Homo-oligomer: A and B are copies of this chain.
Amino acid sequence: VRRRVRGMLARPEFRLPPPEQSLSDQRALTSRWLQLVADEGIGAIAFPREYGGQDDWPGFIAAFETIAQHDISLAIKFTVHFGLWTACLTLLGNEEQARRYLPGAADLSLPGCFALTEIGHGSNARELETTATYDPAAGGFLLHSPHFDAGKNYIGNAARDGRVAAVFAQLVTQGRNHGVHAFAVPIRDEMGNVLPGIRIEDNGPKMGENGVDNARLWFDGVRLPRHALLNRLGGVTADGTYASPLASANARFFATISALVGGRIAIAAAAIGASKVGLLIAVRYARRRRQFRAPGAREETPLLDYPTHQRRLLPPLAELYAVHFAHQHLVHRRATVAAGTVDAAAAREVELLAGGIKAWASWHCTRTLQACREACGGEGYLSVNRLPALKADSDIFTTFEGDNTVLMLWIGRHLLAEAERSTPAADPLPDDEPGRWEALFADRVRTMLTGASGRGQGALFRAAGAHLEAVLLARFNAALAAVTDPALVEPLAALRDLFALCRLEEGRGWFLEHGRLEPAEARGLPGRVDALCARLAPLAPALVEAFGLSEASIAAPIAPPA
């Protein structure tokens, strides 16, 4: 899939435009590109086979990451329509709704939006204020935004192109609120005119992603037929009687917003993709760019040979490999769980992992692109060298599809509840160093949670971070165990070591104060990390070229191919 998408993006019509483009030009170009992607059949890869798709969700994520490496605006518009809007149909809708909407989704003749977030309620989606009140006399719903803050906000595809939206609203029938449900709501006619009762206000220029047309939406008593309700998780009979296969309102809410799980996995993929491009550019530049002459040397020294420069680029590169492996695991776990019988525990595990990897990958991306920009000096600040757009476009990843801090607290609370149910005994420390690191990281989470009850948000937040470090190291070890090519084992093992040693170095305060690390070993960590960076630096060019990016998507004059 990656090869196929790269081939498409290398075509002349996908050539990246010069940096200075007006908002409307950027949006128009992104729309044209999205139509070309749809025409290639790439958007529908994850669609059910009966609707022309290939039921290939991992392929969809691979396509998405590859598109994000080329242009993040296009990737986001792609996932709003082919990911979020379509997932609402397949996860929440019924057969008839799939037949009605999927063909127009596949060929993009009916562009869709995902309208969950409101001006007043972002993270707290459960209390959103749009209402869909059932009227038995009319046999349908009345969709309404009771006040300004109940307007939908930042809705991608809504300012310019969207014709239909999955709108999340409190379902009220027979005088009772049954919580948040999704409705398929037409918002524009075939000519692109906004439909009566709907008000759309452009969100205007943003820090980045200006190819995505975000908007606010308000509904003023818009009448919807009864079949507009995506009713797999809860429906209303003609007389207004509500029925749901899920008894718990809590379970229903999480199932209703489950499209976000796939969305989070997609955002993590985009973050990983952007980090790959950034590190490739920075490493190529660091290898070529020389500055300062060693005593007696004929040529100046390449930046990549400086210990401080290695410290800027190698640790983020090692962490990127860790995040990449964990994300690959997540994609396959999600595909397995979705294909299997419904197992609530497994589904929950995937949800938590998706939230955690999304948070970690997006924070990693923000930090990494910052390091790359600085490592490229003034050149990194010029738009022509791609880093400005990569940074600006990816900056929102830490916020959307769930604010990272809110996600971390959700994971922390879940870990605490688990720990309170049962505290597993600590495993004995293995003899080999990687095994010992993995055990140390796992033990840290257990220890933090043992004392965490009542120690507040701060402690839960830190426990969630420790948990994710343990997960990343375990996934790196698992990926490494599956590598058979001996030429790959050594560099990947060194990267794994660098990842683990960097996390130990940064977290050594905790390990020391809890007697898990001896002062002598801790004192040696900064020097060991420096030495490992120096050992890996000559391999850095190969380690970034291994991402297999196409030159059409790199397109930075400071980073020509070697």
Contact = CB atoms under 8 A, between A and B. Distances in A.
A543 B293 CA distance: 47
Given A204-B383, A204-B384, A526 B458 contact: yes
Interface stretch (A16-24, A97-105, A266-274): A16-24
A87 to B, nearest CB: 21
A519 B523 contact: no
Interface stretch (A180-188, A395-403, A433-441): A395-403
Interface string A514-546: 110001101100110110000000000000000
A374 B399 contact: yes
A270 to B, nearest CB: 15
A53 interface: no
A457 B153 contact: no
A381 B403 contact: no
Contacts of A23: 20
A524 to B, nearest CB: 9
Nearest to A378: B154
A507 B206 CA distance: 37
Contact of A378 (B19, B153, B505): B153
A429 interface: no
A370 B366 contact: yes
Interface in A108-134: 117, 121-124, 127
B392 A373 contact: no
A123 B523 contact: no
A301 to B, nearest CB: 10
A519 B526 contact: no
A207 B519 contact: no
A504 B309 CA distance: 26
A47 interface: no
Contacts of A207: 373, 381-383, 387-388, 391-392
Given A383-B206, A508-B513, A515-B519, A308 B378 contact: no
Contact of A203 (B154, B382, B457, B526): B382
B405 A381 contact: no
B396 A378 contact: yes
A178 interface: no
B456 A382 contact: no
A358 to B, nearest CB: 14
Given A395-B381, A396-B381, A291 B154 contact: no
A503 interface: no
Contacts of A22: 20, 22
Measured as residues with beta carbon below 8 angstroms from the partner, the interface class of chain A is 35 or more
A154 B399 CA distance: 33
Nearest to A412: B308
A403 B377 contact: yes
Contacts of A507: 509
Contacts of A527: 455, 458-459
A461 interface: yes
Contacts of A391: 207, 395
Contacts of A456: 307, 530
A311 interface: yes
Contact of A121 (B153, B291, B398, B526): B291
B530 A522 contact: no
Contacts of A395: 373, 381, 391
Given A307-B458, A405-B312, A530-B458, A381 B399 contact: yes
Nearest to A123: B291
A522 B124 CA distance: 35
A204 B522 contact: no
Nearest to A362: B374
A409 interface: yes
Interface in A16-50: 19-20, 22-23
A243 interface: no
A206 B388 contact: yes
A208 B306 CA distance: 28
A392 B389 CA distance: 11
A395 B381 CA distance: 8
Nearest to A456: B307
Given A22-B22, A123-B377, A154-B378, 12 more contacts: A117-B378, A127-B293, A207-B373, A207-B381, A207-B383, A207-B391, A373-B395, A374-B398, A374-B404, A391-B395, A459-B527, A508-B509
